[in-house]
Amino acid sequence: MFQNLLQEFVQTQFTLKPKLYQRCGFEARYFFNFGDQCDPRHQLPISIVIWRLPPAEQLKQASHPQNDIITYVLKGQYRQDNSISENQTIKEGDAIQYICGNDNSYHRDSNNSQDVSEILQIFIQNNDIEKIAVNKYISKTI
């Protein structure tokens, strides 16, 4: 059911033709934005991004202080190396990953397969200092 809802969301959003960006050498479609990854048409405290990761490639290391990040693999597989938890590979439809990082946390996303992967990431601004004082990582199989 969750996968069907996500697929419906993606199909609906792509018909709205969100702006295509080249970030870190990869294609990214931003639906709502904040920070330096911003489409001036949308200014909200949430960003929904679909990344197309080429085979055997990785994004550069990044940190997202004061952000909660939810990740779901739409196609292929995805690996996240981070400072909060054990590194984990998630395959299409396997799990939902949640990460809440503070100023000292970082991550690097990669596609360690031979096929193009697509991942949906939702970034939510979090200004609750007490909540982000401790890093959190959850991966839930669905």
- pLDDT score recorded for residue 133: 53
Instruction: Give me the pLDDT at residue 28, please.
Output: 66
Tokens of 113: 């397969």
Dist CA 104 CA 134 (whole Å): 10
* Model pLDDT, residue 14: 46
CATH code, 17? 2.60.120.10
Total domains in the chain come to: 1
How buried is residue 98: exposed, middle or buried, by Cβ count under 10 Å (0-12/13-18/19+)? Answer: middle
- pLDDT tens, position by position, 57-98: 776 677 766 778 888 889 998 887 777 766 778 888 887 888
Domain enclosing residue 97, as ranges: 2-141
pLDDT surpasses 60 at 12 = no
Gap between the Cα atoms of 51 and 24, Å rounded: 11
Q: What is the pLDDT of residues 16-33, one digit of tens each?
A: 445 555 555 556 666 554
Closest CA to 101 of 49, 58, 126, 66: 66
DSSP state of 37: B
pLDDT of 35 strictly over 50: no
What whole-number distance in Å separates Cα of residue 32 and Cα of residue 34? 7
